[in-house]
């Protein structure tokens, strides 16, 4: 319904993503960088929504902002004196980084300009949730199960690590 | 929405392209929803909460501004607008300023998907219920930002606590909501409501024992997510002065409370939608006013509001009658009880759906009888407490 406005919306989202990404990279304050992730993640969720991937858009918000970003914030805020560190991203080997960045830039640029893009004329907006669920439990069952096993082992591992620390600190107190 | 936009385009703004008109209508709807709808609701809820709190504490409460003090929230709003906007010297100024708006944004964007009647909904998303939980995530970021930006230890601790709390309680919330989603087979709020019926035995609340338990899990988890007492540890006065909003004043302070009361409303709406049949009105009643008429829509709206306000009343009463829990108790309850019970409910509902695809009416009636007994006991207890307190004030609500 908003076909003619799509370039405008895309431009706005791209601008949001770009500005917040630049802010994340160039900000001298780690806290600001962490908070700027919000703009970047929301922008990507907006892009997903624009492409008709409604489920992915919401999950992007839920997982990246609700989970990952808040975890970052936790780590950043728990570190004492984090606001005093003003040295981030200042002197990380420019001699190596610059050529690498240039190579990446030109190869990506070459890729973008040489690829034949097929412009999809009409994006069919349809609910995707049911289809994703079906595929996860039929075609991609094995990867799905593998990921869940991985997550479970991570969970158990972190619990084991946390318990060990608890036991050690108790022994020290005694 | 789209039809409305086309209608406006054809009758008033035919000079403009349709997409621009669409955009105008969208922004207009957002404007109306936010300013004309949410703000009065939050204000009204603040009034209700303060009056109930006053009754419970044997006070009178605000009753001077407007009939029975109904316009108190407007007076408070005006007062807050005129207050000096204090920003602490050590505060991180940009973060301090942005934080209340983020909290506000996270809470108020959820109103977009609330189904007020079978046709009155701003956007009926296919992933409506997930969207509701996702917007809560933005609130967390706002709270942490407020905690950090204030440059005060109390605020910081409050912000951290609220983040830990909301993140933890998102899991039981999701699990409990999953039971209703399983039954309805959809994430869209309208479809979940449509899958239920107007009568109690058609609600998911009474569908089977597992959804019955899930309702209470969702209730507790949502109260905790809204930082409401007895789970208001982020702003525990006795420990943290006022938590993340300690350093705020004036309108910014009010924004946090706007969000809190809006969350109270959203809480009622989520529970009503998932378990209590939403806007469903008995067909005979609907037919008497004409199923397609605007009166029918208003009737649906009234039903939806009534259910929400019953739940809101319960939450408010809970806040003023139950003492605050400790932080470790709070986390224990989430991870050791609510999460396992939530998983049990999800598995239980799935098995129940396989065994009894049509439901078991005997179990439904048993559950209804049980909850009726609970409600009766509740009224009896409240009556006894009124009587024992022997307060003349309590028995006359309109002093």
Contact A69 B145 (CB under 8 A): no
CB B209 within 8 A of CB B348: yes
Which residues in chain A have Cβ-Cβ distances shorter than 8 Å to B135?
A: 61
φ/ψ (deg, to 5) at B187 = -100, -5
CA distance linking residue B315 with residue B219, whole number of Å: 9
Buried b (16+ CB within 10 A) or exposed e, B116-153: bbbbebbeebbbbbbbbbbbbbbbbbbbbbbbbbbbbe
Which residues in chain A have Cβ-Cβ distances shorter than 8 Å to B138?
A: 38, 61, 65
CB B36 within 8 A of CB B43: no
Q: Which two tokens stand for residue B187?
A: 């994430």
CA distance linking residue B32 with residue B19, whole number of Å: 20
Contact A61 B135 (CB under 8 A): yes
Cis peptide upstream of residue B8 (ω within 30 degrees of 0): no
Chosen for mutation from B144, B162, B190 (greatest number of chain A CBs closer than 10 Å) is B144
In 3D space, the residue among B127, B251, B258 whose CA is nearest the CA of residue B191 turns out to be: B127
Which residues in chain A have Cβ-Cβ distances shorter than 8 Å to B167?
A: 66-67, 70
CB B122 within 8 A of CB B29: yes
Distances (CA, A) of A98 to A27, A91, B95: 19, 12, 32
In 3D space, the residue among B294, B161, B164, B289 whose CA is nearest the CA of residue B233 turns out to be: B161
Is the pLDDT confidence value at A60 over 70? yes
Looking at the complex, does the CB of residue A67 fall below 8 Å from at least one CB of chain B?
A: yes
**Angle CA(B243)–CA(B245)–CA(B248) in degrees, nearest 5?**
145
Nearest chain A Cα distance for residue B227, angstroms: 16
Contact A66 B160 (CB under 8 A): no
**Residue tagged 């208003």 (tokens):** B298
Q: Which two tokens stand for residue A145?
A: 């199960």
Which residues in chain A have Cβ-Cβ distances shorter than 8 Å to B94?
A: 32
- Greater model confidence, A89 or B370: B370
Predicted confidence pLDDT, tens digits, chain B (399 residues): 555 666 666 666 666 666 677 777 777 776 776 666 667 777 777 888 888 788 777 777 777 777 777 788 788 878 888 887 788 887 778 888 888 888 888 887 888 788 887 777 777 777 888 888 888 778 888 888 888 888 788 888 888 888 888 888 888 988 898 888 888 888 888 888 888 878 877 888 888 888 888 899 999 988 888 777 788 777 777 777 777 777 787 778 888 877 888 888 888 889 988 888 888 887 777 777 776 777 777 888 888 888 888 888 888 888 888 888 888 888 888 888 999 999 999 999 889 888 888 777 888 888 888 889 999 998 888 888 777 766 555 455 555
Fold of the CATH domain A3-139:
1.20.120
**Angle CA(A160)–CA(B330)–CA(B140) in degrees, nearest 5?**
90
Looking at the complex, does the CB of residue A62 fall below 8 Å from at least one CB of chain B?
A: yes
Which residue of A lies nearest to B26 if distances are taken between CA atoms?
A: A2
CB B91 within 8 A of CB B150: yes
CA distance linking residue B90 with residue B97, whole number of Å: 13
Nearest chain B Cα distance for residue A6, angstroms: 10
Chosen for mutation from B93, B148, B328 (greatest number of chain A CBs closer than 10 Å) is B148
Mark out the alpha helices in A51-140 (DSSP H runs): 54-59, 70-78, 94-114, 129-137
Contact A61 B125 (CB under 8 A): no
Nearest chain A Cα distance for residue B303, angstroms: 29
What sign results for the dihedral spanned by CA atoms B115, B118, B121, B126? positive
For residue A67, how many C-alpha atoms fall within 13 Å in the half-sphere facing its CB? 9
CA distance linking residue B264 with residue B321, whole number of Å: 17
DSSP letter at B335? I
Residues 6+ apart with CB under 8 A from B36: none
- Greater model confidence, A121 or B83: B83
Q: Give the pLDDT band of residue A1 (cuts 50, 70, 90).
A: very low
Which residues in chain A have Cβ-Cβ distances shorter than 8 Å to B139?
A: none
Q: Quote the pLDDT of residue A107.
A: 93
Closest CB from A32, A69, A128 relative to B141: A69
Distances (CA, A) of B313 to A150, B50, B114, B305, B394: 44, 11, 19, 12, 16
CA distance linking residue A158 with residue A154, whole number of Å: 6
Domain-wise residue ranges, chain B = 83-359
CB B19 within 8 A of CB A1: yes
CA distance linking residue B168 with residue B159, whole number of Å: 14
Contact A74 B160 (CB under 8 A): yes
Is the pLDDT confidence value at A75 over 70? yes
Q: Quick check: ipTM above 0.90?
A: no
Contact A3 B19 (CB under 8 A): yes
Looking at the complex, does the CB of residue A127 fall below 8 Å from at least one CB of chain B?
A: yes
Chosen for mutation from B95, B134, B336 (greatest number of chain A CBs closer than 10 Å) is B134
How many residues in chain B? 399
Contact B163 A83 (CB under 8 A): no
Q: Quote the pLDDT of residue A150.
A: 95
Domain-wise residue ranges, chain A = 3-139, 140-174
Contact A38 B22 (CB under 8 A): no
CA distance linking residue B300 with residue B306, whole number of Å: 10
Q: Which two tokens stand for residue B221?
A: 């988890």
**Residue tagged 């991937």 (tokens):** A53
Contact A70 B140 (CB under 8 A): yes
Which residues of chain B form beta strands (DSSP E)? none
CB B297 within 8 A of CB B117: yes
CA distance linking residue B189 with residue B272, whole number of Å: 11
Reported as a single tens digit per residue, the pLDDT across A32-52 is 888 888 888 889 888 888 887
Interface of B with A (CB under 8 A): 2, 17, 19-20, 22-23, 92, 94-95, 102, 125-127, 130-131, 133-138, 140-141, 144-145, 147-148, 156, 159-160, 163-164, 167, 170, 187-188
Is the pLDDT confidence value at A161 over 60? yes
CB B113 within 8 A of CB B123: yes
Residues 6+ apart with CB under 8 A from A105: none
Q: Quote the pLDDT of residue B242.
A: 74
Contact A83 B156 (CB under 8 A): no
């Amino acid at each position: 319904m908003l076909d003619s406005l799509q370039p405008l919306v895309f431009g706005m989202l791209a601008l949001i993503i770009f500005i917040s990404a630049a802010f994340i990279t160039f900000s001298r304050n780690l806290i600001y960088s962490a908070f700027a992730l919000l703009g970047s993640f929301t922008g990507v969720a907006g892009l997903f929504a624009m492409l008709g991937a409604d489920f992915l858009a919401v999950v992007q918000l839920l997982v990246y902002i609700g989970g990952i970003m808040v975890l970052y914030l936790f780590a950043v805020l728990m570190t004492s004196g984090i606001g005093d560190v003003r040295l981030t991203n200042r002197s990380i080997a420019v001699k190596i980084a610059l050529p690498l960045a240039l190579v990446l830039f030109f190869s990506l640029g070459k890729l973008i300009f040489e690829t034949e893009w097929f412009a999809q004329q009409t994006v069919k907006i349809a609910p995707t949730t049911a289809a994703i669920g079906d595929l996860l439990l039929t075609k991609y069952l094995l990867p799905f199960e593998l990921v869940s096993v991985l997550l479970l082992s991570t969970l158990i591992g972190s619990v084991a690590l946390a318990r060990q620390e608890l036991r050690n600190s108790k022994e020290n107190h005694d | 929405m789209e039809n409305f936009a086309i209608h406006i385009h054809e009758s008033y703004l035919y000079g403009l392209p349709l997409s621009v008109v669409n955009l105008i209508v969208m922004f207009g709807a957002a404007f109306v929803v936010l300013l004309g709808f949410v703000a009065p609701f939050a204000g009204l809820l603040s009034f209700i909460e303060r009056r109930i709190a006053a009754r419970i504490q044997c006070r009178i409460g605000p009753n001077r501004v407007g009939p029975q003090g109904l316009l108190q929230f407007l007076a408070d709003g005006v007062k807050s607008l005129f207050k000096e906007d204090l920003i602490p010297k050590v505060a991180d100024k940009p973060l301090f300023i942005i934080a209340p708006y983020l909290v506000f944004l996270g809470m108020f964007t959820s109103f977009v998907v609330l189904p007020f009647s079978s046709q009155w909904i701003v956007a009926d998303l296919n992933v409506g219920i997930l969207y509701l939980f996702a917007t809560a995530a933005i609130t967390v970021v706002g709270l942490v930002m407020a905690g950090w930006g204030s440059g005060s230890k109390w605020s910081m601790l409050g912000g951290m606590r609220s983040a830990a709390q909301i993140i933890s309680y998102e899991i039981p919330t999701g699990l409990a909501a999953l039971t209703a989603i399983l039954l309805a087979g959809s994430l869209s709020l309208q479809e979940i409501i449509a899958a239920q019926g107007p009568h109690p035995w058609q609600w998911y609340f009474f569908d089977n024992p597992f959804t019955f338990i899930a309702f209470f899990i969702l209730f507790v988890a949502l109260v905790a997510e809204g930082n409401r007492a007895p789970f208001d540890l982020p702003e525990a006065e006795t420990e943290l002065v006022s938590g993340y909003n300690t350093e705020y004043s004036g309108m910014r302070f009010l924004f946090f409370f706007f969000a809190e009361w809006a969350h109270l409303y959203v809480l009622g709406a989520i529970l009503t939608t998932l378990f209590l049949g939403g806007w469903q009105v008995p067909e005979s009643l609907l037919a008497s006013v004409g199923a397609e008429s605007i009166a029918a829509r208003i009737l649906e709206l009234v039903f939806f509001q009534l259910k929400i306000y019953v739940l809101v009343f319960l939450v408010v009463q809970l806040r003023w009658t139950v003492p605050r829990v400790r932080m470790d108790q709070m986390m224990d309850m989430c991870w050791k009880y609510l999460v396992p019970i939530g998983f049990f409910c999800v598995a239980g509902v799935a098995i129940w759906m396989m065994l009894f695809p049509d439901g078991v009416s005997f179990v439904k009636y048993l559950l209804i009888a049980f909850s009726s007994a609970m409600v009766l006991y509740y009224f009896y207890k409240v009556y006894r407490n009124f009587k024992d307190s022997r307060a003349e004030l309590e028995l006359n609500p309109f002093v």
